[in-house]
Amino acid sequence: MARDLITGVSICLVIFSATLYLPLMGFFLAMVLPMPITYYRLKIGRNLGAAMMAIILAVIAGTTSGAPLDLLFFGSLLFTGFFLGESIEMHVSIERTALFTCAASMGTCFLLFFLYTLTTGQNMIQLISGYVSANLEMTLGLYSEMGIPQESIDLVARSMDTIQYVMVRIIPALFFVMTMMVVWVNTLFIKKILINKGLHLPQLDNLNQWRAPEKLVWPVIFFILLLLVPIPTNVLKILGLNCILAVMPIYFFQGIAVVSFVLEKRSFPRLLRFFIYSIIAIQQIFLFVVVGLGFFDTWIDFRKLGTMGEGKEQE
């Protein structure tokens, strides 16, 4: 167990270091940071898994000089990995696994962040606003280095206040989207790893046949109307935007399940599958296409799952 603890800590710190020194790949590497936590949580148990997470958090805190939001970001990834392991061990459905992991991880992060603001006497909104402002300024500097036309940079600079205003207010939805995507990625990875170790998880079977609840489309339509209908107050529009962003990963999962189902049914070569998934991950327009595919699959049923279910009943 001591060797497993040291190995798990080492793997996580290597991934963390890579996110710092490989900026282009940093985001994608950060997505898999929870995976070693999940694996070793299942292997060495809750107590040692929590100890491993605490050691890694301590090292990250020292590396980032205790920067609260940087520590919160990496902490949320570690918490996600730990609570994902908890959910898998409880053998609950994939829906409950995702919701429990997200709720537990986000709730823990919010509580710790709130306690931090109390102990330092800082305002939570002001702290987030300052962080967003600093990152927007950094982005402008990056645009200049990339050779983007000055006219475009000036346009973004003039809209900085509006962008910052919106970004600060959709942080809850962005945090939820990030956590859901991290849960999805690490669930797929940990499933492969456990299968290779000879462990079968029935709740993770047939993920490419997963569907979102049909009733979810009506709240989505309602919140879209909130954005389209002229409303004198921005509060409802911000609420609608947060809710729409929050359900986007759900329909992304359904859309990517459709893609996976078709590729598997048509026996596409693995190399071609990897290329298609890479394009979806890199090109933002295809992300929205997949979200739309998942949304309309509720009515069109591209995979004909209803027909398959009827056939099974008749048998």
Domain ranges of the chain: 1-123+170-205, 209-305
pLDDT at res. 56: 94
Which range has highest mean pLDDT (44-53, 131-140, 203-212, 234-243)? 44-53
| Cβ-Cβ contacts under 8 Å for 237 (sequence gap 6 or more) | 226, 227, 231
Mean pLDDT is lowest, of 46-50, 118-122, 221-225, for 118-122
Distance CA 104, CA 59 (A): 23
pLDDT band at 71 (very low <50, low <70, confident <90, very high): confident
Which two structure tokens, joined as six digits, stand for 175? 């945090």
pLDDT at res. 313: 38
Each residue of 183-214: b (16+ CB within 10 Å) or e? bbbbbebbbebbeeeeeeeebbeebeebbbee
Q: How far is CA 128 from CA 69, 114, 132, 162, 167, in A?
A: 8, 12, 6, 15, 10
| Average pLDDT of the residues of the chain | 86
Distance CA 11, CA 13 (A): 6
Under 8 Å between Cβ of 99 and 180: no
Mean pLDDT of 164-186: 90
pLDDT digits (tens, 9 = 90+) for 256-266: 999 999 999 88
Sequence letter at residue 179: T
pLDDT at res. 50: 92
Under 8 Å between Cβ of 15 and 186: no
pLDDT at res. 24: 66
Which two structure tokens, joined as six digits, stand for 219? 């709240």
Mean pLDDT of 230-238: 78
Mean pLDDT of 263-279: 90
Residue 137 burial (CB count, 10 A): 12
Residues recorded for the chain: 315
Mean pLDDT of 92-110: 92
pLDDT at res. 310: 42
Which two structure tokens, joined as six digits, stand for 155? 């346009």
pTM for the whole thing?
0.86
pLDDT at res. 7: 92
pLDDT at 286 over 60: yes
Distance CA 68, CA 128 (A): 10
